Amino acid sequence: MNREKPLFYIRYVADGDINIDDYWWDKYRQPGKWLASKDTFALKSVEEAIIYFKDKINGVVVYDPNIASTSNVASSLCGTDNLLAIRYDMRPSSLYSRIVLNGPKLPVKVWFVNEDGSSKFTAKGTIPDTDIPSSGSLKNDPYLWFIEKYMKQGKCSGEFGAYYIDQKWMEKPLATVRNHHTLTNHDFFISKKAFFFDLSPHGDELATDDPGQPLGTDLNTLKLFLMAIYMACAA
């Protein structure tokens, strides 16, 4: 929504009883400031926002709650394909139920789970939809899929990379204040068609969020990301 110019402002980030987004909104709206003369109105729900911006949304990418890295890959596809990233969740209150199964009923363009909700990536055999051998890591295989299917095809920006935590935080969602998941930071990078990653740059120690991976797997995948960018820019 904000790719060409700022259109959509989200009131979310809070520190105790203080809403940080409201604080800056009030600053911007003061006489002589950036938004002082702008005509604005409120959208009261996710569904209402989707309906209003429906011409800018091509559908959704459904990611796997059991493989955290698919959330970052989903954010990458949001930028490249103008999709919304939605976690697979059959509970009636979930966003998946509210906007895919019901409400706007947005079409699913990319699945990172199978039709029965089981994991598409297994860390065995070959990576789905490719002939690339699995890395042996559930965390890394979705990134390798993205490199092959998107980065090597020139579908994302080589200028913007977004180093953000994936949805591993959902294992302890209340360990800190909720907005520390940094999801609201994704918006800028999605507008730039950036690639998202959460990979350790250390090849001599195990990744803390994937200790079962072969040593150095995160680093090898990170190098593949950087090499794909280099080759795209060189071309």
Q: Tell whether 33 and 2 lie within a shared domain.
A: yes
Q: What is the domain extent for residue 35?
A: 1-42
Q: Tell whether 11 and 113 lie within a shared domain.
A: no
Q: Find the angle CA(111)-CA(117)-CA(122) to the nearest 5 degrees.
A: 75
Q: Tell whether 216 and 113 lie within a shared domain.
A: yes
Which element (helix H / strand E) includes 84? Answer: strand 83-87
Residue whose pair of structure tokens reads 């055999």 in the numeric block: 125
Q: Tell whether 167 and 54 lie within a shared domain.
A: yes
* Predicted confidence pLDDT, tens digits, the chain (235 residues): 999 988 999 988 888 888 999 999 999 999 999 899 888 899 999 999 999 999 999 999 999 999 999 999 999 999 999 999 999 999 999 999 999 999 999 999 999 999 899 999 999 999 999 999 999 999 999 999 999 999 998 898 888 999 999 999 999 988 888 788 889 899 999 999 999 999 999 999 999 999 999 999 999 999 999 999 888 766 6
The Cα–Cα gap between 106 and 4 comes to: 23
Q: Specify the length of the chain in residues.
A: 235
Structural domain tally of the chain? 2
Q: Tell whether 28 and 57 lie within a shared domain.
A: no
Q: Tell whether 89 and 183 lie within a shared domain.
A: yes
Q: Tell whether 30 and 55 lie within a shared domain.
A: no
Q: The tokens of 35 are what? A: 């938004």
pLDDT tens sequence across 165-217: 999 999 998 888 878 888 989 999 999 999 999 999 999 999 999 999 999 99
Asked whether 146 and 72 are in contact (CB, 8 A), the reply is no
The Cα–Cα gap between 105 and 47 comes to: 10
